[in-house]
Amino acid sequence: MALLPCLPSQFPCSPVTGFVRLPLLSSRRSSKGVQSSNYRFRCCINTGTSVSQPLRRAASYPQNIWDDSYIQALNCGYMGDEQVNEIRKLKEEVGQLFSDSKEILYQIELIDELQQLGVAYHFQDEIKDKLSTIFCSLEKTSLFMENDLKATSLVFRLLREHGFHASADIFNNFRENKGNFKSCLKNDMEGMINLYEASFFAVEGENQLDEARVFATEHLRHLSESLVEASLRERVAHALELPLHFRMSRLHTRWFIDWYEKKVDKNSNLCRLAKLDFNFVQNIYKRELKELSRWWTNLGLGQKLSFARDRLVENYLFVIGWAFEPKLWQNREAMTMANCLVTTLDDIYDVYGSLDELELFTDAVNRWDAEAIEQLPDYMKTCIMALFNTTNLTANKIMYSKGVNIIPQLRRSWADLCKAYLVEAKWYHSGYMPTLEEYLDTAWISISGPVVLTQAYCTSENITDEALKCYNFYPDVVRQSSMISRLWNDLATSTAEMERGDVPKSIQCYMHEKGVSEEVAREHIRDMIVSISKKFDYDCISNSSIAESLKSVALDVHRMSQCVYQYEDGYGEQGHQKREQVISLLFEPIPL
């Protein structure tokens, strides 16, 4: 019997569950709600078949350090009426700041602080209105900022961040006749920091911004050596480590709240709101994580498939990087579940499965068919049923809440992922070394970006049937974001993965193809990341046909990749830095 468009929406089907009742996804919606017929699906496993076992590889990943007992013991805290009322009052007082002054610098500094403190989502309409006004009168505004590098840089960055195509010519006043930036600017610390941050929003052809980045970086490094004020040294070091454009916003917020609190001229109400709001949102995350941990434990993949990485908490952390606002709980749930399954699939294809098994598994996912499942070995049956049921759980929830059938899009993205995994498995088993272009044509899919971004788009707040029809497989921003993620992953993990017996990565492909050293290959990959990032940024500000929700998540996906892989494999290895990030963002509240 073929699988229905939706499998069980409430209980994961394990190999021993027998019959379960299935709501049909293509149910009719009426004014009284969803009317669904019930069907039965049986998952059978023949455990009596005796076959020779293929040789299995072992990845030897570290054990999970955040198990279910740890997560369930987390203190979710309680915010009483007094603190809830305080947050409401502070939001009103902070909102009033938008009308306190019409001075451009005051307004843009306020917007910047709201964003970095993580509370801008409360004031989205006010921020959009202010930036729209500034953009519509940008020529006039530029005259007021003629000699103010900080204000000019801040306006440019905020406009680009919010999708306004501000011209890089806004910086011409700060350049000499020969085109170089004026040497007198080098002592303007605030101007240098903001010019540096703005320069990373360059698109292709904006050489003046590339020059601005080199100029600002050089002088910030020089100035930082002579800074006396500790907080300013800390700020410069933080910026030089990684610019705002490439940071995971929520992790930066946790750092910035501590830094902002030490400012002499801080706004006390804004600081208090940021701390209360951070703790309030963190409590939401803890409750969600407990629910997800129960789901993951009941699913049993972490216990049954011991060769695979068990990384629920890390997967949830990634998703916060893409969807941190409280209202995006449905996105967080769907994408965390998908990420956990991606990890398991990745380890089946990369480490454990034989080529014959992988071909059968890929065919079963492509067909989404119960009959195909019966041909699989038991460990694959466990995995594929978890995949089918979790995917259909997500689809059912969207059908009930939005009246939209997203199962075709989800199925397509999972099938594409497995096909890409299979191509790489065949390369490994045959010893084939692809060209860099050939590798990347598959690897941008195998990094799982299309699965994640399809999940994000299909579970977004405003998803409709019309929006689904507009989702081509795959928009440029999906490909670009995924490619950036793949290249960052390769820079951090390729050596360890090759030692485990994985397929050659972009670095090895380029070394083999061009006959160059690893150092030269790594530099080429970094240059590719810069180039693709510029194309991505241009498409985000110039292509109005791409949904804003998709642009936003696509940007955050490749930001999160840089965060995860900046210093180490922050996913597979669970290093000290990653543990500290998890603790500060998910487990420890900010002292009030």
In tens, the pLDDT along 528-566 reads: 999 999 999 999 998 888 888 899 999 999 898 888 777
Residue 49 has pLDDT above 60, yes or no: no
Measured CA to CA, the distance from residue 153 to residue 168 in angstroms comes to: 10
Sign of CA dihedral 388, 389, 390, 396: positive
φ, ψ (nearest 5 deg) of residue 34: -90, 130
Residue 223 has pLDDT above 90, yes or no: no
Residue 574 has pLDDT above 80, yes or no: no
- Residue range 564-574: mean pLDDT, rounded: 61
Q: 39 pLDDT band (50/70/90 cuts)? A: very low
167: enclosing H helix or E strand: none
Measured CA to CA, the distance from residue 99 to residue 77 in angstroms comes to: 35
Q: What is the pLDDT of residue 6?
A: 41
Measured CA to CA, the distance from residue 213 to residue 198 in angstroms comes to: 8
Query: Cβ distance 564 to 246 under 8 Å?
Result: no
Nearest-10 crossing angle of helices 312-322, 268-299:
140
Each domain of the chain, given as residue ranges in start order, spans 19-72+300-587, 101-276
CA distances from 395 to 29, 330, 388, 547 (A): 15, 11, 11, 20
- Residue range 15-37: mean pLDDT, rounded: 31
Q: Most distant CA pair in the chain: distance in Å?
A: 83
User: DSSP of 67-118, one letter per residue?
Assistant: -HHHHHT-------HHHHHHHHHHHHHHHHGGGT---HHHHHHHHHHHHHTT
Please, what is the average pLDDT of the chain? 87
Q: Which of 57-71, 279-293, 348-362, 541-555 has the lowest mean pLDDT?
A: 57-71
Q: Which of 168-172, 389-393, 480-484, 501-505 has the lowest mean pLDDT?
A: 501-505
Measured CA to CA, the distance from residue 216 to residue 421 in angstroms comes to: 42
Judge if 19-72+300-587 and 101-276 fold alike in CATH terms: no
**Which residues are 35's β-sheet partners?**
28
DSSP state, 352? I
Matching CATH number, 101-276, of 1.20.140.10, 3.40.50.300, 1.20.120.340, 1.50.10.130: 1.50.10.130
The one-letter amino acid at 72: Q
Q: Which CATH superfamily is domain 19-72+300-587 in?
A: Farnesyl Diphosphate Synthase (1.10.600.10)
Query: Cβ distance 328 to 461 under 8 Å?
Result: yes
The closest alpha carbon to 9, from 48, 36, 46, 43, belongs to: 36
Residue 18 has pLDDT above 70, yes or no: no
Instruction: Give the residue, 118 or 571, on which the prediction is more confident.
Output: 118
Q: Which of 64-73, 134-143, 407-416, 479-488 has the lowest mean pLDDT?
A: 134-143
DSSP state, 20? E
Query: Cβ distance 37 to 551 under 8 Å?
Result: no
Q: What is the pLDDT of residue 575?
A: 66
Structure tokens at 464: 């409709």
Structure tokens at 273: 């709101």
Structure tokens at 184: 């007198």
For 485-505, letters b (16+ CB in 10 Å) and e give bbbbbbbbbbeebeeeebbbb
Find tokens 């970006």 and name the residue.
Answer: 449
Q: Which of 221-230, 342-351, 521-530 has the lowest mean pLDDT?
A: 221-230
DSSP state, 567? S
Measured CA to CA, the distance from residue 108 to residue 267 in angstroms comes to: 15
Query: Residue 309, class by beta-carbon neighbours within 10 Å (0-12 exposed, 13-18 middle, 19+ buried)?
Result: buried
User: DSSP of 273-316, one letter per residue?
Assistant: HHHHHHHHHHHHHHHHHHHHHHHHHHH-HHHH-TTS---HHHHH
Measured CA to CA, the distance from residue 116 to residue 249 in angstroms comes to: 7
Does the pTM surpass 0.85? The reply is: yes
Structure tokens at 450: 């299309």
